[in-house]
Chains A and B, each alone.
Chain A
Amino acid sequence: MKLTSRADLKEARQIFSRALQLQETKILVCAGTGCIAGGSLIIRDKINELLKAKSLPVTVEMADEPHDKEINIKSSGCHGFCEMGPLVRIEPQGFLYIRVQLEDCEEIVNETIVAGKHIPRLAYTFEDKMYPKQDEIPFYRQQTRVVLEHCGHIDATSVKEYIGVGGYSALEKALFELTPDKIVKEMSDSGLRGRGGGGFPVGRKWAEVQRQKNKPKYVVCNGDEGDPGAFMDRSIMEGDPHRMLEGMIISGIACDASEAYIYVRAEYPMAVNRLKLAIEQATDIGLLGDNILGSNFSFKIKINRGAGAFVCGEGSALTASIEGKRGMPRVKPPRTAEHGLFNQPTVLNNVETFANVPEILNRGANWYNKYGPAKSPGTKAFALTGNIRNTGLIEVPMGSTLRTIIYDIGGGIPGGAEFKAVQIGGPSGGCLTTDDLDLPLDFDSLKKAGAMVGSGGLVVMDSNTCMVEVARFFMNFIQNESCGKCVPCREGTKRMLMILERIVSGRGNIGDLDLLLELADTVSNTALCGLGKTAPNPVVSTIRKFRDEYLAHIVDKRCPGKVCAKMRRYYVDPELCKGCSKCAQACASAAITGKVKESFSIDLSKCTRCGACINTCKFSAIKEGW
């Protein structure tokens, strides 16, 4: 089928949406990376097989001639509740089954699909309350899903389903009802800000590209989601790829560009495959390519895979990488809008930003900016990870508090530990503590608190985490990823890492904190690109919020989080020691002394914390302390 006019698309939408309505039962098996790792595709095939064996009218793809009692099995995008995977959602009841195993398939088919009954043992239970339906689960109930609206609700590999639920209607509007100026104005009025980290207003960026006379112009989608602990963009690319493509095509109409690139991280092979498939489907059906829907607008999208460089998330490094060069940033200005890909004017936005576009055009700027605070309107997807009960993908209005996210949606900290901090914005961001639990999460409030939204990774840390070690971890990451072009980043981060390593290994000096802050100041003010400018943030924010922990490492040589191996103290329990001298023989640094048949002792100034003595003691007389 090839759609060659607006009427064609409208007609196709009617057919597809009717087909969806006729599917009496929908079985949505999560085909996100997380659930696939848990075996969801095998579960999907098993359910299909079992239904077929019963000669029920089961389909895995949207049928052209739908049966009116059809059972449709869909490979959906990420449902978000990754901790509980593999997930299976069953409609029309809206049941959500968690941690589904191969053995459960038969029961699901017999009890739920055939008899329509709920299986309590597969439902989510929290604090003795069972939640049969997905929408009732606190994790979902407190979210506002706009960008992730379709993730988990439609088949992620079907353009027909996307059209059937109203997809590509914004494209229709942009092609046949709105002028490019009107599209850009709508974006400006909506107040949408780039979701990749910087928060630059989208309307302003598009207007700037629109003004450029130089042609050709390009659209580039940044899918190089490199922040460790973030996977929102991945879930959109995998779970609702057409939504993002639609956003890109619209930006092409607005800025008069007809060629686009999607730059995806190499670590996301499934996202690449889903996008390839989506582009193929959209091209086949006539929503990409020449003269889209009979208009004189043409648009083509290519996919470029990254090759493992974090710095390529930076605009000018990303475009250099698409050009087949080393991904090194250049001095700005001129900005990407003027001199972007191949030195031509370029619209560069990230995945989530583009995915916001269609709904804004559909429902209007006023609908969009009723979510969130005036200066950071809309919703934001966050990846909730680390020491938290419900890890997964969530979406909330901008300006929601950390307390809502961690306790109401995230379900709090597991294992009886206390909440300590949350790292927001990855290695460019900062940490927030119990004092910040009621801080609204939006671009400006976070900046004031010394953190940033970044791409939206929220890594929760409990009381068993050492903040100095976390700072070292991030600095190590940045040091590895620094491209080496400018001196402040290349050398400055190296020195900062050296000092942090010294501190966690118990060799810190009292002047180290001042030295760190001084270096941080120099690096953030003089580095060439965003990576370097924000590199010191984790160090500065942990020093500001957890100075006592740094001092414990430097002065007392203790690690309050009980993490840093070199701060461990070994001692001999005199009650248990039989004086066999095995430990003294095992000690390479001669730190253990004593008389045979009497209790031995460890000289901490000689001890290298290697742990060899613990392993040799038959009486468990050597103890660890902090």
Chain B
Amino acid sequence: MNQIFDPIELDEIVKSQSTDPSAVISVLQTIQEKYRYIPREVFRPLSLKMGISEARIYSVVTFYENFSLDPKGHFVIKICDGTACHVRKSMPNLERLRKELDLPEGKVTKDDLSFSVETVSCLGACGLAPVLTVNDKVYPAMTPDKVSDLVAKLKEELANETH
């Protein structure tokens, strides 16, 4: 879990944005893009570099939903449950997804870090409802059966990558 991050890399990330305290959100976003989550170990060096308290960084990370203090899976699947997707029955898709991946409600990421499943309020692709995204690629007009097919395909992809 404790992925060791490279202090030089952190330096570069901060430099690529700005050391101004107002840039803290974009710095954290870049860190998350790199590590797929925010390792707590960055708080201290970041606080020194940007001249803001660790508490302030923690307060920002925990306020915004996009930031995660826990590592995410290889595939992050986001099920849209915005109004348009909801009235076009997005929840059966989520149920099927949890079943296929054997993820009980309340658990986001598989222990082997293969998949994460989240719901989001709106991806803005309402014309294609119900939608889900896998690592930001949009899959339109989903049904539970299409979800099963997709999961099978992703699992296969994962197996090929690790071999």
- Using a CB–CB cutoff of 8 Å, the interface residues on chain A facing chain B are 33-34, 36-38, 82-83, 85, 225-231, 234, 265-269, 304-310, 321-328, 383, 385-387, 391-393, 423, 426, 457, 459, 461, 465, 470, 473-474, 477, 480-481, 483
Interface residue? B120 (CB, 8 A): yes
User: What separation, in Å, do the CA atoms of A230 and B66 have in the docked complex?
Assistant: 20
Determine the chain B residues whose CB is within 8 A of the CB of A321 once the complex forms: 25
Q: How far apart are A394's CB and chain B's nearest CB, in angstroms?
A: 11
Q: Output the nearest chain A residue to B121 by Cβ-Cβ distance.
A: A228
For B29, list chain A residues within 8 Å (CB).
266, 305, 307
A429 to B33, CA, bound (A): 35
CA distance A268 to B143 in the complex (A): 23
Q: Cα distance A323–B56 when bound, in Å? A: 12
Q: A82-B128, A386-B87 are in contact. Are A324 and B121 (CB under 8 A)?
A: no
A85 to B138, CA, bound (A): 14
Interface residues on B, range: 35 or more
Pair count A-B, CB < 8 A = 137
- Give the chain B neighbours of A83 by CB distance below 8 A: 127-128
* CB of B73 within 8 Å of the partner chain: no
Known: A37-B131, A37-B140, A323-B22. A307 touches B87 (CB 8 A): no
Task: Tell me whether B126 and A385 are in contact (CB under 8 A).
Answer: yes
Instruction: Let me know if A34 and B140 touch, CB within 8 A.
Output: yes
Q: What 4 new A-B contacts, CB under 8 Å, besides A229-B122, A391-B128?
A: A34-B127, A305-B26, A308-B67, A461-B87
Report the separation of the CA atoms of residues A327 and B67 in the bound assembly, to the nearest whole angstrom.
Answer: 14
- B84 and A228: CB pair below 8 A? yes
Encode contact with A along B133-157: 1 for CB under 8 Å, 0 otherwise: 0001111100000000000000000
Residues A459 and B22 in contact, CB atoms below 8 Å apart: no
> Which residues of B19-44 are within 8 A (CB) of A?
20-26, 28-29
Chain B residues lying within 8 Å of A387, measured Cβ to Cβ, are: 87-88
Question: Given that A267-B124, A391-B129 are contacting pairs, would A324 and B84 also be in contact in the complex, using a CB cutoff of 8 Å?
Answer: no
Chain B nearest CB: distance from A222 CB in Å? Answer: 15
Considering only residues 74-131 of chain B, those with a C-beta below 8 Å from chain A are 82-84, 86-88, 120-129, 131
Closest to A268 in B: B124
Q: What A residues does B26 contact at CB under 8 A?
A: 304-305
Given known A-B contacts A267-B120, A307-B65, A387-B87, A37 and B125 have beta carbons under 8 A apart: yes
Determine the distance from Cα of A523 to Cα of B80 in the docked complex, in whole angstroms. Answer: 28
Judge whether B64 and A310 touch: CB under 8 Å. no
Interface centre among B22, B25, B64, B83 (most CB of A within 10 A): B83
CA distance A225 to B127 in the complex (A): 16
Q: Is the CB of B63 within 8 A of A385?
A: no
Q: Which residue in A33, A225, A473 is a CB contact (below 8 Å) of B83? A: A473
> Are B124 and A231 in contact (CB-based, < 8 A)?
yes
With A323-B22, A465-B87, A477-B121 as known contacts, state yes or no: A229 contacts B126, CB within 8 Å: yes
Residues of A within 8 A of B126 (CB): 82, 228-231, 383, 385, 391, 457
Q: Whose C-beta in chain B lies nearest to the C-beta of A78?
A: B127
Give complex CA distance A326, B57 in Å: 10
Q: Which residue of A lies closest to B139 (CB)?
A: A37
A459 contacts B124, C-beta separation under 8 Å: no
Measured in the bound complex, the distance between the Cα atoms of B26 and A226 in whole Å is 19
* Pairwise interchain contact B127-A82, C-beta atoms closer than 8 A: yes
Q: Which residue of B lies closest to A538 (CB)?
A: B83
A228 to B129, CA, bound (A): 12
Going nearest first, the 9 A-B pairs with the smallest beta carbon separation are A82-B127, A228-B82, A307-B64, A385-B84, A308-B65, A228-B122, A308-B66, A37-B138, A385-B126
Q: Please measure, in the bound complex, the distance between the C-alpha atom of A290 and the C-alpha atom of B59, giving whole angstroms.
A: 37
In the bound complex, how far is the Cα of B126 from the Cα of A267, in angstroms? Answer: 13
B60 within 8 A of A: yes
Q: What are 7 A-B contacts defined by CB distance under 8 Å? A: A230-B122, A304-B25, A323-B22, A324-B24, A326-B63, A387-B87, A470-B87
Cβ contacts under 8 Å, B24 to chain A: 324
Residues of B within 8 A of A36 (CB): 138
Residues of B near A227 (CB, < 8 A) are: 122
CB neighbours of A267 from chain B (8 A): 120, 122-124
Which residue of the partner chain A has the closest CB to B67? A307
Distance to closest chain A CB from B34 (angstroms): 15
Q: Is the CB of A34 within 8 A of B128?
A: yes
B18's nearest neighbour on chain A, judged by CB, is A324
Check A37 against B128 for contact (C-beta < 8 Å).
Answer: yes
User: Do residues B88 and A386 form an inter-chain contact, with CB atoms below 8 A?
Assistant: yes
Q: Which residues of A contact B123 (CB under 8 A)?
A: 267
Q: What is the minimal beta-carbon distance from B98 to any residue of chain A, in angstroms?
A: 16
In the complex, residue of chain A having the shortest beta-carbon distance to the beta carbon of B129? A385
What is the distance, in angstroms, from B114's C-beta to the closest C-beta of chain A?
A: 23
For A323, list chain B residues within 8 Å (CB).
22
Q: How far is the CB of B28 from chain A (nearest CB, A)?
A: 8
- B63 touching A309, Cβ below 8 Å: yes
Picked from A225, A305, A310, the residue with its CB within 8 Å of the CB of B124 is A225
Task: Report the bound CA distance from A258 to B147 in whole Å.
Answer: 49
A585 to chain B, nearest CB (A): 23
Complex Cα gap A305–B29 (Å) = 9
A36 to B136, CA, bound (A): 12
Task: Tell me which of A34, A269, A321, A385 has the highest count of chain B C-beta atoms within 10 A of its own C-beta.
Answer: A385
Name the distance in Å between A306's Cβ and chain B's nearest Cβ. Answer: 8
CA of A85 to CA of B83 in the docked complex: distance in angstroms? 21
Closest to B119 in A: A480
Among A38, A383, A423, point to the contact of B140 (Cβ < 8 A): A38
Q: How far is the CA of A226 from the CA of B123 in the complex (A)?
A: 9
Which of B25, B28, B127 has the most chain A CB within a 10 Å cutoff? B127
With CB as the reference atom, state the residue of chain A lying closest to B131. A37
Contact B127 A393 (CB under 8 A): yes
Q: How far is the CB of A460 from chain B (nearest CB, A)?
A: 8
For A233, give the chain B residue with the smallest CB separation.
Answer: B124
A304-B138 Cα distance, complex, nearest whole Å: 23
- Interchain nearest-CB distance for A435 vs B (Å): 20
CB-based contact B129/A457 at 8 Å: no
Give Cα A477–Cα B83 distance, bound, in whole angstroms.
Answer: 10
Residues of chain A within 8 A (CB-CB) of B140 are: 34, 37-38
Contacting pair B127 A386 (CB below 8 A): no
Query: Could you tell me the distance between the alpha carbons of A323 and B129 in the complex, rounded to whole angstroms?
Result: 35
Indicate if the CB atoms of A33 and B125 lie closer than 8 Å: yes
Contacts known (A228-B121, A477-B121); A266 close to B66, Cβ less than 8 A = yes
Q: Which of B26, B82, B137 has the most CB of A within 10 A?
A: B82
A228-B65 Cα distance, complex, nearest whole Å: 16
Are the CB atoms of A228 and B136 closer together than 8 Å? no
A322 touches B84 (CB 8 A): no
**B136 touches which one: A226, A269, A385 (CB < 8 A)?**
A269
Asked if residues B127 and A226 are in contact (CB atoms below 8 Å), the reply is no
